[in-house]
Amino acid sequence: MENNVVVITGGTSGIGRALCNRYIAAGYQVTIASRSEQILQKVQADIKSQGHDVFTVKTDVRIDEDCKNLVDAVVEKFGRIDIFINNAGITWYESDEGGINIEKHKEVIDTNLFGTVQCTKYALPHLLKSKGSLVGVCSIAGEVGLPNRSAYSASKFAMNGFLSSLRVQYINKGLHVLITYAGYTSTNIRKKVKKDHNSNDFPPGYGESINEISMMSAEQTAMYIFNGIKKRKRSVRPTSIGKLTVWLNKFLPKLNDKLAARYYN
């Protein structure tokens, strides 16, 4: 696999870092992107201390020029892209008393949707050339509306539609598109939004019924994504509760609304 090149946005922590480790172990040429140069350098040093190497590119996926620079830098260094994983993402919890926050909607959509669109725009010609894999780390929130997460759900529904459309558009050109509908995963994404939130009612772990022990680890989620790419699947839903939520939403939507309001609150 020494000639296979994978790019992972949001690759310094959580699912992205777990994917980075897994692809390094599999012998791929790995590039990770993040907004923080300092964190990129730290991760790179950690990986080097373990006897491996990783290429890093400072990238804010909200900025079109950064996305172009990421792809250009990877192609200049390795000559190709075989897998591009759109993993960078943020979330926001909308408290009932705070209501809909337009600024946060724009911030979440700029990152989760347009970050994916812009990176894909530049990576796509190279993926078509290699008949590679375009991957989106989406969410169950991209299939089922979740309470107090209208910004996040809107961005992930749109991401889902964007990638699904590209799958059909390029179905006869060898492009593989995998959408990962991740469920609750133990990462820093929730901890960061909790830290930034000023509501006393913000539920820890997105609900008292959820805790770090019951969540899937980033490493487990990365394993599902890695195998999904390897098998060129259309989609993966790593968590059992996520699979159940989608099934109920399809066949018993009214019941699912009530359960989602309770479980995901």
Nearest to 56 by CA among 40, 39, 75: 40
What is the rounded average pLDDT for all residues in the chain? 90
In this predicted structure, what is the pLDDT of residue 114?
A: 98
Q: Are 242 and 264 in contact (CB under 8 A)?
A: no
Tell me the pLDDT band of 183, cut-offs 50, 70 and 90: confident
In this predicted structure, what is the pLDDT of residue 107?
A: 97
Give the CA count within 13 Å in the CB-facing half-sphere of 56. 22
Cα 263 from Cα 95, distance rounded (Å):
16
In this predicted structure, what is the pLDDT of residue 75?
A: 98
Vertex 213: Cα angle to 22 and 97 (nearest 5): 110
Tell me the pLDDT band of 12, cut-offs 50, 70 and 90: very high
Tell me the pLDDT band of 208, cut-offs 50, 70 and 90: very low
Percent over 70 (pLDDT), the chain:
88
Cα 41 from Cα 88, distance rounded (Å):
18
Q: Which residue has the higher pLDDT, 141 or 186?
A: 141
Q: Has residue 214 got a pLDDT over 80?
A: no
Tell me the pLDDT band of 97, cut-offs 50, 70 and 90: confident
Q: Has residue 116 got a pLDDT over 60?
A: yes
Q: Has residue 206 got a pLDDT over 90?
A: no
Calculate the alpha carbon distances from 49 to 11, 18, 38 in Å. Answer: 18, 17, 17
Can you read off the two tokens belonging to residue 155? 């961005």
Helices (H), the chain: 14-25, 37-49, 64-78, 102-109, 115-130, 150-169, 188-196, 218-230, 240-251, 253-263
Q: What is the pTM of this model?
A: 0.90
pLDDT (tens digit, 9 = 90+) per residue, 131-152? Answer: 999 999 999 999 999 999 999 9
In this predicted structure, what is the pLDDT of residue 241?
A: 87
In this predicted structure, what is the pLDDT of residue 187?
A: 60
Cα 179 from Cα 171, distance rounded (Å):
15
Q: Is 152 a catalytic residue?
A: yes
Q: Are 70 and 170 in contact (CB under 8 A)?
A: no
In this predicted structure, what is the pLDDT of residue 188?
A: 56
Q: What are phi and psi of 55, to 5 degrees?
A: -90, 135
Q: Has residue 177 got a pLDDT over 80?
A: yes
For the chain, list the domains and their CATH numbers. 5-240 (3.40.50.720)
- Taking residue 20's Cβ as centre, other Cβ atoms within 10 Å add up to 26
Q: What SS3 class is residue 225? A: helix
Tell me the pLDDT band of 193, cut-offs 50, 70 and 90: low
Cα 126 from Cα 89, distance rounded (Å):
23
Burial 241-255 (b: 16+ CB within 10 A, else e): bbebbbebbeeeeee
Q: Are 40 and 18 in contact (CB under 8 A)?
A: no
In this predicted structure, what is the pLDDT of residue 213?
A: 45
Mean pLDDT of 170-186: 92
Percent over 90 (pLDDT), the chain:
80
In this predicted structure, what is the pLDDT of residue 57?
A: 98
Cα 213 from Cα 202, distance rounded (Å):
19
Mean pLDDT of 56-79: 98
Q: Which residue has the higher pLDDT, 13 or 188?
A: 13
In this predicted structure, what is the pLDDT of residue 260?
A: 87
Q: Which of 23, 122, 152, 184 is catalytic?
A: 152
Mean pLDDT of 59-81: 98
- Taking residue 54's Cβ as centre, other Cβ atoms within 10 Å add up to 20
